[in-house]
Structure 1
Amino acid sequence: MQTIADRLINARQEIDNAIASANRNPHSVRLLAVSKTKPVSDIELAYEAGQRLFGENYIQEGVDKIQTLEHLSDIEWHMIGPIQSNKTKIVAEHFDWVQSIDRLKIARRLNDQRPEGMPPLNVCIQLNIEQETTKSGIIPGELPALVQEIINLPRLCLRGLMAIPAADVTPQAQHQTLAALQSLYNDVAAQVDTVDTLSVGMSGDMCEAIAYGSTMVRIGTAIFGARQQQN
């Protein structure tokens, strides 16, 4: 039976193979281990195997883990789930990254509530490029205005874009979406010096996303096993 360490090795090898196939620079894609619903003990095992980036979808669960593991000071904690306005303070106080910025109100609250003693909060704008009603994120036409607003918030550092492309689509549709995301990312990166992250790709579409410029892939089940059901 494979361990978490074994699964991490496999995931990293798959990433390296995809990078090579796309003729990209080695180490140009970072692995975000999505640890939602998983116990602290699993995160500790991944940490022992060298993993340092962890993503959480649920705010209180993530904060509890951050507080429990605060002695592991080199972990980089990413909030990748939706954020309600009444939860921004606790997110601003604990996370290193927020990948799910989908409106200016949330960005402003995170900026205002980020403690002065902490570095600026790294953020990504979440795009809903296919305008799926079940997903958060802005449409592409809203991107330029939100970029301009965020770069003027001093307690935030705009790092890039995040997206969850539609599943179960044709290869042609998938490639069109990924190409569009890459183009939008390149446009923003050309305008904003701090932008270096295109967070696209999960277990099912990781290789395709890397072929279209993804710099961060989000992997959960393939590392930690099946997700626990939330009550």
Structure 2
Amino acid sequence: MTSRRDELATRLGEVRARIDRAASAAGRDTGDVELVVVTKYFPASDVNHLVDLGVRHIGENKDQEAGAKVAEIARRDEVTVHFIGQLQSNKAGHVAAYADVVQSVDRAKIVTALDRGAQRHGRRLDVLLQVALDDDEGRGGARPGDVPALADLVEDAEALRLRGVMAVAPLGGDPRRAFARLREVADGIRAGHPDATWVSAGMSADLEDAVAEGATHLRVGTAILGTRPSLG
């Protein structure tokens, strides 16, 4: 019977091969594309297997689940924890205690709350601005036209560091076209904030399109962990 570790190793290898092929097709260096394995709903035991397999970036969506799970990571100092879910201002202080990167900053209230929380915990957080590429308000994100002002606000925050932008492809839309739009927004932000070089885009189904449009970080969950939580 295949062990959970072996299953993860096989799936991880398949995703890494897809990234290699996509980077080659786009004329990019695979080393310029970082894989963030989305571990929401899966146990810390899976995270520990992934770390053993060389994964160094994990993504979490739910604060209530993530805080406890991060505390169980055996080699925590080797892992960068990305919070990628929609964030409420009243949860921001708690997220600031364990996340290293917050990818879903989409309004001024979140910037203020994260900055306050990071200062309270004596930490400095990397931040990505989530860009809305459709009209679905339930998925979060700032309008492209509002992103520059948000970038300036993060830049002025004492405990936050602006690293770039993030987006989710619209449901039912053309992901390549959406990621091309994100690339335009990213270029505009980088013009005023040269260190904001990260572009987080692409998931299990559309990572190739994201790589083709310059994504530096891919958020992949299902293709590696499966569709339902492991029991251990």
TM-score past 0.5 threshold: yes
Q: Distance in 2 between matches of 1:36 and 1:227?
A: 10
2:226 maps to what in 1?
A: 225
User: Matched residue of 2:127: which SS?
Assistant: strand
The answer to whether the 8 Å contact 2:131/2:166 transfers is yes
Q: Distance in 1 between matches of 2:149 and 2:226?
A: 39
Shift of 1:37: 0.3
The answer to whether the 8 Å contact 2:106/2:141 transfers is yes
**How do 1:1-231 residues align onto structure 2 when only pairs under 5 Å count?**
3-69=7-73, 71-115=75-119, 118-169=122-173, 173-228=174-229
Question: Which residue identity lines up with residue 38 of structure 1 in the other structure?
Answer: F
Question: Which residue identity lines up with residue 217 of structure 1 in the other structure?
Answer: L
Hey, which of these two has a bigger chunk of helix by percent? Answer: 2
Shift of 1:168: 2.4
Q: Distance in 1 between matches of 2:86 and 2:176?
A: 26
Shift of 1:176: 2.7
The answer to whether the 8 Å contact 1:31/1:216 transfers is yes
Shift of 1:25: 2.3
* TM-score, normalised by the number of residues in structure 2: 0.92
Q: Distance in 1 between matches of 2:101 and 2:162?
A: 10
Q: Distance in 1 between matches of 2:86 and 2:63?
A: 9
Q: Distance in 1 between matches of 2:176 and 2:222?
A: 24
Identity %: 34
User: Matched residue of 1:27: which SS?
Assistant: helix
Deviations 1:67-104 (A, max 9, x none): 11264311100100011111111111111000000111
The answer to whether the 8 Å contact 2:96/2:121 transfers is no
Q: Distance in 2 between matches of 1:84 and 1:167?
A: 23
Question: Which residue identity lines up with residue 11 of structure 1 in the other structure?
Answer: V
User: Matched residue of 1:98: which SS?
Assistant: strand
Shift of 1:119: 4.3
Change (3 A) 1:183 1:71: same
| Structure 1: stretches of 5+ with no match in the other structure | none
| Structure 2: stretches of 5+ with no match in the other structure | none
The answer to whether the 8 Å contact 2:33/2:218 transfers is yes
Q: Distance in 1 between matches of 2:45 and 2:177?
A: 40
